[in-house]
Amino acid sequence: MSIDSQTAVVRRFNRSYTQRIGVLEDSFLGMGAPLGTMRLLFEIGTHAGTVADLRDRTGLDSGYVSRQLRRLTEDGLVSLTSDPADRRRRLVELTPLGRARWDELEARSAERARALLDPLTERQRDRLARALAEADLLVRSALVTFETVDPLSDGARAAVEQYVAELATFFPFDPGEPSEEDAAEFRPPSGRFVLAVDDGAPVACGGLRDLGDGVAEIKRMWVHPGWRGAGLASRLLRHLERTAADTGHTAVRLDTNENLKSAIAMYDHAGYHRIARYNDNPDATHFFEKPLT
Amino acid sequence: MSIDSQTAVVRRFNRSYTQRIGVLEDSFLGMGAPLGTMRLLFEIGTHAGTVADLRDRTGLDSGYVSRQLRRLTEDGLVSLTSDPADRRRRLVELTPLGRARWDELEARSAERARALLDPLTERQRDRLARALAEADLLVRSALVTFETVDPLSDGARAAVEQYVAELATFFPFDPGEPSEEDAAEFRPPSGRFVLAVDDGAPVACGGLRDLGDGVAEIKRMWVHPGWRGAGLASRLLRHLERTAADTGHTAVRLDTNENLKSAIAMYDHAGYHRIARYNDNPDATHFFEKPLT
DNA sequence: TCGATTCTCTGACTAAGGTCAGCTATATGT
DNA sequence: ACATATAGCTGACCTTAGTCAGAGAATCGA
């Protein structure tokens, strides 16, 4: 299928899906308060926090949010308390009444989704759910961005932690606390640490360090379990290769463990060839290299 | 998959798709005119016509549309001429300048769809396009409504015309002009003609007529070619059976031609059993019956 | 031909959504 | 202690989107 016909499919879908079904928005209507107010209530219920927090997430104006919050507190749906840590700040929370309204919003939204499925037969419902799940995974992965970050930044630490926890289920593995000298290897000029971010949350990572002789090594490559099967690993791998080339390397190496079957299959498929052991990593059983053009 | 987890999939998709991508709407922004005005421009460019026409399609207030049109004419994007057939009416058309703006909207919308596909690999793009095409077909088919109409109404005639044209590609078939006496069989009290409508356009049809002895016959069942594979035919068949039962019948019969393989497979699958020839239809080769519980 | 109806336009009005400058209270760096 | 910065609030103001009740012209039915 050409990119033009793919584009046409996306546009056609957009039209029939978003134009003809008042998808989420309408759930916020008819609740006795204007849409914007309800949207804010929904946002607070999803994640309480400070006013600034709320502004950041919604992208709304300070004055506007302030007024909406006043309305919500007057209606008894939201409570504002000053933050003991910094008394300029105000903490926003739902009251029990507000929580009840939030639940109602949730229920309406679910009802709306159900109304879409309702006229379909069981088989069609299943087909639709499968198609949307597949589309969801791909759409989300299209929106993932790769960022070069410091290996000791919060995001990087969170990702590596999950990577370590997961490896530990395959073989005994405990690299201890992340150290400053270890992190230095993954910093510029010769190293990099790349984080794949979806909506602010890290969903994949990978580090590059210099081995000398124009060779870079890929380490700590990990993809969030919920994101596998969408081709994110391949995209990350290609991104790391390009980054290695940009930092003046002519080849990349990596090692892995025989238990990580799908990783090995991916390296084979991505143009890596197997080489002899090039380090003394006791956990590694397979060693790969790929020349960078 | 249970209906609850299917609902969850739909909601999750809605969130990532509609909330995070400013799908179509945003294409209308930043064009120097407010969103509503641009939306109307888009609608006019898609299909020119009278003002009332435009109001019907958009569901907007008469005064509101009138004002928007004035703005668009002042900006030189739209031309208003009175309809020679009825000089109360006004015909709305895009000027060349308006057409240029419309093209720009189209281009933006296509660009937006492309931006979604762009970061993906060719294989992922293909998977996404396939998933969305499947979802589109199913979503649209969920929104199709069945209406009992007069067999000589515009919609019914349009559908039957397509049905006839299509049968004629399988074997010589020409029933001539639709006659009043022929139509009478498909009218209440004992007959019905059912039209499946998507967004105002007929996409499938089927007629019921009384054969006596509590038996109804299904005739002229047709599904638009673009709608096959979505289970619409099965839904229509079930709807016709229910209608036959509601009008006091205890069984339905139908005949078909050996060349219509998929129709025969569907009848077999839907609980019909083959019976001996029950009429002298020269085009029919296969005869079916199903008891109605 | 006359009254009713239809089609479009206009004026008056409203609510929602949003922007901006400035205010007060609190926190922070020197 | 002082200047400076930050968090949230308030008042004034604006545009957009939309509603409603007619007015005026054209058409239709009897």
Domain of A67, CATH number, reads 1.10.10.10
Residue B289 has pLDDT above 90, yes or no: yes
Element (H, E) at B146: strand B145-148
Residues A159 and A230 in one domain: yes
Residue B156 has pLDDT above 50, yes or no: yes
Residue range A176-204: mean pLDDT, rounded: 82
**Burial of A191: CB neighbours in 10 Å, binned 0-12, 13-18, 19+:** buried
Residue B24 has pLDDT above 50, yes or no: no
- Last residue within a domain, chosen from A104, A119, A134: A119
- Give the model's confidence band at B28: pLDDT under 50 very low, under 70 low, under 90 confident, else very high: low
B107 touches chain A (CB under 8 A): no
A6 contacts B126? CB cut-off 8 A: yes
Rounded to whole angstroms, how far apart are CA atoms A273 and B253? Answer: 66
Rounded to whole angstroms, how far apart are CA atoms A183 and A146? Answer: 19
B10 contacts A117? CB cut-off 8 A: yes
- Residues 6+ away with beta carbon under 8 Å from B130: none
Q: How confident is the prediction for chain B on average, in pLDDT?
A: 86
Q: CA(B25)–C1'(D21) in Å?
A: 32
A114 touches chain B (CB under 8 A): yes
Residues A154 and A285 in one domain: yes
Instruction: Select from B157, B140, B161 the least CA-distant residue to B235.
Output: B140
The answer to whether residue B133 sits within a structural domain is: no
Residues A220-265: pLDDT tens digits?
999 998 888 778 898 899 999 999 999 999 999 999 988 888 889 9
- Give the model's confidence band at A86: pLDDT under 50 very low, under 70 low, under 90 confident, else very high: confident
Handedness of CA B14, B16, B19, B21 (dihedral sign): negative
Rounded to whole angstroms, how far apart are CA atoms A203 and A137? Answer: 12
Residues B97 and B148 in one domain: no
Residue range A43-50: mean pLDDT, rounded: 89
Residue range B191-202: mean pLDDT, rounded: 88
Report the pLDDT value the prediction gives residue B27, as an integer from 0 to 100.
59
Instruction: Select from B110, B211, A51, A81 the least CA-distant residue to B118.
Output: B110
The answer to whether residue A63 sits within a structural domain is: yes
The encoded tokens of residue A154 equal 């919060």
Residue range B144-167: mean pLDDT, rounded: 86
- CATH number assigned to the domain comprising residue B237: 3.40.630.30
- Last residue within a domain, chosen from B104, B119, B134: B119
Give the number of beta-carbon pairs within 8 Å between A and B. 175
Domain that holds residue A195: 143-291
Residue B192 has pLDDT above 50, yes or no: yes
Which residue's CA lies closest to nucleotide D26 at its C1' atom? B88
The answer to whether residue B137 sits within a structural domain is: no
Rounded to whole angstroms, how far apart are CA atoms A221 and A215? Answer: 17
Residue range A159-178: mean pLDDT, rounded: 78
Percentages helix, strand, coil for chain B, rounded to the nearest 5? 50, 20, 30
Residues A106 and A196 in one domain: no
Rounded to whole angstroms, how far apart are CA atoms B146 and B163? Answer: 17
Instruction: Select from B17, B240, B174, B53 the least CA-distant residue to A135.
Output: B17
For residues A251 and A291, is the Cβ–Cβ distance under 8 A? yes
CA dihedral A221, B130, A115, B22 (to 10 degrees): 60
Question: Which residue(s) pair with A196 in the sheet?
Answer: A146, A204
* Min Cα separation B127/chain A (Å): 8
Strand bridging mode B145-148 / B201-212: unpaired
CA dihedral B263, B268, B269, B270 (to 10 degrees): 90
The answer to whether residue A176 sits within a structural domain is: yes
- Give the model's confidence band at A72: pLDDT under 50 very low, under 70 low, under 90 confident, else very high: very high
- Give the model's confidence band at B6: pLDDT under 50 very low, under 70 low, under 90 confident, else very high: confident
Residues B50 and B115 in one domain: yes
B77 touches chain A (CB under 8 A): no
Residue range A37-43: mean pLDDT, rounded: 90
A141 contacts B7? CB cut-off 8 A: no
Residues A105 and A149 in one domain: no
Residue B25 has pLDDT above 60, yes or no: no
B230 touches chain A (CB under 8 A): yes
Residue range B257-269: mean pLDDT, rounded: 89
Residues B285 and B160 in one domain: yes
B5 contacts A129? CB cut-off 8 A: yes
The answer to whether residue B68 sits within a structural domain is: yes
For residues B28 and B39, is the Cβ–Cβ distance under 8 A? yes
Residues A180 and A114 in one domain: no
For residues A281 and A267, is the Cβ–Cβ distance under 8 A? no
Report the pLDDT value the prediction gives residue A23, as an integer from 0 to 100.
47
Q: CA(B199)–C1'(C7) in Å?
A: 25
Chain A, 243-262: which have a CB under 8 Å from a chain B CB?
none
For chain A, the residue count is 293
Q: CA(A70)–C1'(D11) in Å?
A: 15
For A133, which of B9, B18, B140 is closest by C-beta distance?
A: B9
- Give the model's confidence band at A200: pLDDT under 50 very low, under 70 low, under 90 confident, else very high: confident
How many percent of chain A have pLDDT more than 70?
A: 92
Which chain B positions have a beta carbon within 8 Å of A11's beta carbon?
109-110, 113
B125 contacts A6? CB cut-off 8 A: yes
Q: Is the CB of B71 under 7 A from strand C?
A: no
Residues A164 and A85 in one domain: no
B7 contacts A114? CB cut-off 8 A: yes
Considering A30-34, A110-114, B190-194, the range whose residues carry the highest mean pLDDT is B190-194
Residue B108 has pLDDT above 60, yes or no: yes
Q: What is the number of helices (H) and of strands (E) in chain A?
A: 10, 10
The answer to whether residue A134 sits within a structural domain is: no
Residue B105 has pLDDT above 70, yes or no: yes
Report the pLDDT value the prediction gives residue B23, as an integer from 0 to 100.
46
Query: How many CB atoms neighbour CB B286 within 10 A?
Result: 18
* Min Cα separation B58/chain A (Å): 11
Cis before A189? omega within 30:
yes
Rounded to whole angstroms, how far apart are CA atoms A8 and B69? Answer: 30
Cis before B189? omega within 30:
yes
Q: Is the CB of B259 under 7 A from strand C?
A: no
Residue range A46-55: mean pLDDT, rounded: 89
Rounded to whole angstroms, how far apart are CA atoms B92 and A100? Answer: 49
Handedness of CA A58, A61, A63, A68 (dihedral sign): negative
B131 touches chain A (CB under 8 A): yes
- In degrees, rounded to 5, the angle at the alpha carbon of residue B262 between the alpha carbons of residues B259 and B268 is 105
A184 touches chain B (CB under 8 A): no
Question: Which residue(s) pair with A108 in the sheet?
Answer: none
**For chain B, what is the domain count?**
2
Which chain A positions have a beta carbon within 8 Å of B119's beta carbon?
142-144, 235
Residues A275 and A161 in one domain: yes
Report the pLDDT value the prediction gives residue B19, as an integer from 0 to 100.
58
Residue A274 has pLDDT above 70, yes or no: yes
Q: What are the C-alpha distances in Å from A96 to residues A100, A265, B74, B114?
A: 6, 52, 53, 44
The answer to whether residue B267 sits within a structural domain is: yes
> What per-residue string of b and e applies to B117-141 under the rule 16 or more CB within 10 Å gives b?
beebeeebbebbbbbbbbbbbbbbb
Residues B173 and B107 in one domain: no
Q: How confident is the prediction for chain A on average, in pLDDT?
A: 86
Which chain B positions have a beta carbon within 8 Å of A131's beta carbon?
131-132, 134-135, 138
Residue range B119-127: mean pLDDT, rounded: 85
- In degrees, rounded to 5, the angle at the alpha carbon of residue A267 between the alpha carbons of residues A263 and A271 is 165
Rounded to whole angstroms, how far apart are CA atoms A30 and A185? Answer: 57
How many percent of chain B have pLDDT more than 70?
A: 92
For chain B, the residue count is 293
Handedness of CA B179, B181, B182, B187 (dihedral sign): positive
A201 touches chain B (CB under 8 A): no
For A124, which of B109, B136, B138 is closest by C-beta distance?
A: B138
Residue B178 has pLDDT above 70, yes or no: no
- Last residue within a domain, chosen from B119, B153, B169: B119
Residues A139-165: pLDDT tens digits?
888 888 898 988 888 888 888 889 888
The answer to whether residue B189 sits within a structural domain is: yes
The encoded tokens of residue A26 equal 């309408």
- Give the model's confidence band at B29: pLDDT under 50 very low, under 70 low, under 90 confident, else very high: low
Residue A20 has pLDDT above 70, yes or no: no
Phi then psi dihedrals of residue A136, to 5 deg: -60, -50
- Residues 6+ away with beta carbon under 8 Å from B260: B170
Residues B107 and B161 in one domain: no
Lowest mean pLDDT segment, chosen from A39-48, A228-237, B283-292: A228-237
